[in-house]
Structure 1
Amino acid sequence: MSCVLLDNDRDTWSRASTLILLGFMCYALPWSVFAAQQPAVSPPSSSAPLLRMQGSNTIGAKLGPALVKGMLEAQGYRAINIQPSGVENEQRVTATSAKGQNVRIDIAAHGSSTGFVGLQEGSADIAAASRPIKDAEVASLAGLGDMKSRDAEQVIAIDGLAIILHPSNPITSLRTDQLAQVFSGEISNWSQVGGKAGEIHLYARDDNSGTYDTFKELVLSANGKALSVTAKRFESNDKLSDTVSSDPQGIGFTGLPSIRQAKALAIASGESQPMLPTQATIATEDYPLSRRLFLYNSPAQGNKPWVKTLVNFAHSPRGQAIVAQNGFISQTVSAIKVSATPDMPPAYQHLANNAQRLSVNFRFAEGSANLDNKALRDLSRVFDFLSSQNKLHQNVVLVGFGDPKSDPARAELLSKLRAMAVRRELAKQGVMFKDIIGLGDVLPVAANTGEEGRIKNRRVEVWVY
């Protein structure tokens, strides 16, 4: 049975009350589907590559090759080398099997959109993307199966889109609407945002980049702006960062591992407080410019065992350790101490003073009461953490949040229903809860003026005593 929508403002209160009953009837997948397995696979008999990855430079520059190397090591390969292929932003990973057979995996990192083109043309087995697949891309790849399904879409890491300045720049924070004005050219002098007088120099990723797509969606388009034609464009995150760190008047945006020698700003969105891109704020996806990194593959082509092997390895503890080693935020669950602040509701202040928050937020598919693909995998991660800490019984509090509704009581109800949806899944594994709380639209982490922000605010936190 499919779950009904939770966020349609046209719903009547009678339907809202019906949701309470239907919320417990949503179809739940067996827990076993989340268990990553590492089947041994054999190399092809020909000289063809084992695997071809195309797409995001954010992933393909370092993380993709590192995950491939780790996967090959786990499969018993030796003499593993990562080397340039002779084409800029393309690499080749070579190795030797236990039987002495030489193999290779090809990685091309020219931007997220090129990965989906590669899948469509048959030149790629897996697409690396630093943004979700677009509806037009889903339509173009319809022959490969449902590209938004759990089998096709894999969140392998969390990244923060860092806004970077020269280290000498005195500015410490900006709002997303100010960023939009800066990068559109409406604000062209640093004195207009509290800095020293001087022309602002803009640096941005190119049009193929998922990093640019994310910035465009979360900053520019969300504020009705377009990138200034004066911005200098880059295919590489690292080159952009190095240019900004050598230009006292420069500003740019890049993935978290590419901050390098530059200075990162704290960013605010809507009513949220400015946040630096830290491990905690990005892991929970509270940081306004946090984003997910994806691998996409065809669910209709089950005859490519190396695709499944790489995906399973990326999700494994060893794969997530490689994610962290390469400067991204892994999805390994940990407990975080949160400091209470005056703007927190009393119930939330009590949690901050007496419990710890887990480094994961559960979120939902767009326009749906169903947990999204990341949340489905996070269920097993949270359960494993609680089990390892002996916290399965009466130690857990779920806190639901949402976006504003015309009636505050409705917002509170919907936020609690989200928490109940997570409770239902974890309870199947024997987790017993101390409390389930719905706090409505308080403590937003994104602006509610756009759908992207509203979706981000619809979340469930996990707290442990």
Structure 2
Amino acid sequence: MKKFTCLGLSMVLALGLLAGCGGNDASTSEPAGSTPDAATSTTELSGSVATDGSTSMESVIGVLGEQFMADHPDVSVTYNPTGSGAGIEAVTNGSCDIGLASRALKDEEKEGGLTETIVALDGIAIIVNGENSVTDLSLEQIASIYTGEVTDWSEFGSEAGTIANIGRESGSGTRDGFESITGTEDACVLAQELNSTGAVIEAVRTTPGAIGYASLSAVEGQEGITVLTVGGVAPSEETVLDGTYAIQRPFVFATRTDEALSDAAQAFFDWATSEDANSLIESAGAVPVAGTDAASAA
């Protein structure tokens, strides 16, 4: 009887081991043409990606973060709209993964340990109050307005009225780009100095005689303002990419040169700067550069 019982148990264990091996084979089999990495890439990635900086990049970083989180449910992408200068400081001191700047990094910032990667290009649109009849200004005329040399709209063929210059705060990438292109660094005379793209647009919309500058991606479809042509060229994806629209700047990811990103942050960075993200960047109103000469130059 004991021999029979032992034999029976041995057969049960043997059958169980065989069943277990068969089950493991079934659970680890891959679909035809797939690889283990491809099958697990969307489920294994987890963590957070902290971005901080340019308010002009809100639409771009918004669509990129939303899509990445949809593709990777265990990853959180956050955005703190503090302005380009603050974003560069945040990535420098390690309080975010990726700094967002709507201007090129300065030599001292690169020498201080940051790497610049251009994600997109953006036109800086010149906008006036919707009641203004002016539709085109040259770079020289824009500069004469912002330095206070010309103070009345009648100088440009419109009805007489005091010009109200609206601009961004010190440290803004939009302001840096605008002033460097128009040659008005440290010379602008502003009626209002505001700390976000949306605030500039609203001020121009509600202030008679106002002129301002804002990201092209932010002004499209806005009512109560007029987007000017500059030297006869309208800001658009085509004119920004081919360089015929004069007032443009890069949208930049700033990262710490000697410090690796986390797996989640690196995956987001790689995807956002690839051609796979181009259509999303374009939908946000900016001009993607992945796969173009602009990306190679970066």
Name the TM-score, length of structure 1 as normaliser.
0.51
How many Å separate the matches in 1 of 2:107 and 2:152? 37
1:242 maps onto 2:202 in alignment:
yes
CA distance in 1, matches of 2:152, 2:51: 41
- 1:117-137, CA deviations, whole angstroms, 9 ceiling, x for partnerless residues? 112211111111100011222
d(CA) in 1 for partners of 2:127, 2:138: 14
SS of the residue corresponding to residue 63 of structure 2 reads helix
Q: Distance in 1 between matches of 2:186 and 2:79?
A: 34
Deviation string, structure 1 residues 134-181 (Cα, Å, up to 9, x no partner): 122223x33xxxx3xxxx322111110000012231112111111111
* Residue in 1 that maps onto 2:229: 266
Written as runs of structure 1 = structure 2, the 5 A alignment for 1:88-237 is 97=74, 104-139=76-111, 141-142=112-113, 147=114, 152-221=115-184, 226-228=187-189, 230-237=190-197
Q: CA deviation at 1:42?
A: 2.9
1:280 and 1:118 mapped to 2: Cα distance? Answer: 33
Larger gyration radius, structure 1 or structure 2: 2
Alignment RMSD: 2.3
> 4+ residue stretches of structure 1 with deviation over 6 A?
none
Report how far residue 225 of structure 1 moved: 6.4
Separation (CA, whole Å) in 1 of partners of 2:142 and 2:186: 10
Q: Is the 8 A contact 2:53 2:82 kept in 1?
A: yes
- In structure 1, give the amino acid aligned to 2:188: L
* Equivalent residue, structure 2, for 1:91: none
Contact 1:297 1:307 in 2 (8 A): no
AA of the residue aligned to 1:70: Q
8 Å contact from structure 1 (residues 154, 311) kept in 2: no
Aligned to 2:68: 71
1:196 is paired with a residue whose SS is coil
Cα distance per residue 1:399-434 (max 9 Å; x no partner): xxxxxxxxxxxxxxxxxxxxxxxxxxxxxxxxxxxx
CA distance in 1 between counterparts of 2:285 and 2:297 reads 24
Give the letter aligned to residue 45 of structure 2.
S
2:25 counterpart residue number? none
Contact 2:69 2:76 in 1 (8 A): no
**How many Å separate the matches in 2 of 1:210 and 1:292?**
9
SS of residue in 1 equivalent to 2:288: coil
Q: Which of the two has greater helix per residue?
A: 2
Q: Which consecutive unaligned segments of at least 5 residues does structure 2 have?
A: 1-40
TM-score (normalised: structure 2): 0.78
Cα distance change of structure 1 residues 332 and 128 upon mapping to structure 2, 3 Å threshold: closer
Structure 1 residue 375: Cα displacement: 2.4
The answer for the alignment partner of 2:214 in structure 1 is 254
Match of 1:283 in 2: 241
Instruction: Give the deviation of 1:108 after TM superposition.
Output: 1.1
Length, aligned pairs only: 255
Q: Distance in 2 between matches of 1:329 and 1:55?
A: 19
Shift of 1:331: 3.3
Indicate which of 42, 57, 79 corresponds to 2:45.
42
2:289 to 331, 334, 351: 331
Match of 1:375 in 2: 296
Q: Give identity over the alignment, percent.
A: 23
CA deviation after TM superposition for structure 1 residue 74, in Å: 2.5
1-side partners of 2:272 and 2:242: how far apart?
19
Instruction: Report the equivalent of 1:308.
Output: 266
Counterparts of 1:209 and 1:255, CA distance in 2: 12
